[in-house]
Amino acid sequence: MSTAGIALEAPRLLLVDDDEIFRAVLARALERRGFQVQAADCPAAALPLARQFSPGYAVVDLRLGDASGLGLIEALHALDPRTRIVMLTGYASIATAVEAIKLGATHYLTKPADPDEIIAALGRTSGDADIPVAAHPPSVERLEWEHIQKVLNQHQGNISATARALKMHRRTLQRKLAKRPVRE
C-alpha cells in the first residue's frame, strides 16, 4: 500500500448483496485491502448511492431478493461506463454470465469467491506489497464439500433430497458426508 493519503486516495467500491452477513464480511475484507466501501442490499438502494458515491468499482450479486442484479449492472454501466463491475453469484449459469458481460460487467464470479480473486477480477493488480501469492484455487474436492454443505442446508439436512438435487446417489452422498472435510 502507498504510504500517504490512503483515506483520500482509496478507490471507491460499491458492494451490493442482499445477504447481510456476507455483505459485512466482504466489505470488511475489501476495506482491509485498501478500498473505500459503500454497501447496499438492493438496486433501489444501490442506485442513489452510486450516483452520490460515484464508485470506480462495483461488486454486485445476481440474486438480490426478488430483483435481478443484471438490471443494476446495466444502470451502473449507464451511469459511468468506466466503472469496473464484477458480478458475483451463488447460482451461476451461462445465460446470466453472458448477459452480465454484455450489459457491461467486467467479470463474472461464482461464490464462494476469495476477496483477492474478486479484486483480481476487478482488474486492479495493485502494484503494492499485497498478495504475493497467486491466490490458490480451492481443490475440486474442497469446492464439492462446500457445495454439498450448502445444498444440504437448503434441504434441512435431508440427505435423500440433497442427493436428488445434486444428481448423485444417496449412497455416495452418505459416504462423502462420512468423510472429513478436506483441509487445504
Partner DNA sequence: TGCGGGCGTGACAATTTACCGCATCAATTT
Partner DNA sequence: AAATTGATGCGGTAAATTGTCACGCCCGCA
Q: At what angle do helices 115-122 and 20-32 cross, to 10 degrees?
A: 70
Q: Does 140 bind a copy of itself (CB under 8 A)?
A: yes
Whether residue 76 contacts residue 84, with contact meaning beta carbons closer than 8 Å, is answered with: no
Instruction: Find which of a copy of itself, DNA, none residue 157 binds, CB within 5 to 8 Å per kind.
Output: DNA
Q: Which residues, in sequence order, are bridge partners of residue 86?
A: 59, 107
Considering beta carbons, is residue 36 or 99 the nearer one to a copy of itself? 99
Considering beta carbons, is residue 92 or 168 the nearer one to DNA? 168
Among 129, 171, 179, 180, binds a copy of itself (CB under 8 A): 129
Part in contact with a copy of itself (CB under 8 A); list of ranges 11-19, 39-47, 51-59, 106-114: 106-114
Minimum separation from the CB atom of position 95 to a copy of itself (A): 5
Q: Does 153 bind DNA (CB under 7 A)?
A: no
Vertex 120 angle, CA 88 and 11, to 5°? 90
C-alpha distances in Å from residue 125, one per residue of 58, 75, 131, 132, 163: 16, 26, 9, 11, 40
Minimum separation from the CB atom of position 105 to DNA (A): 24
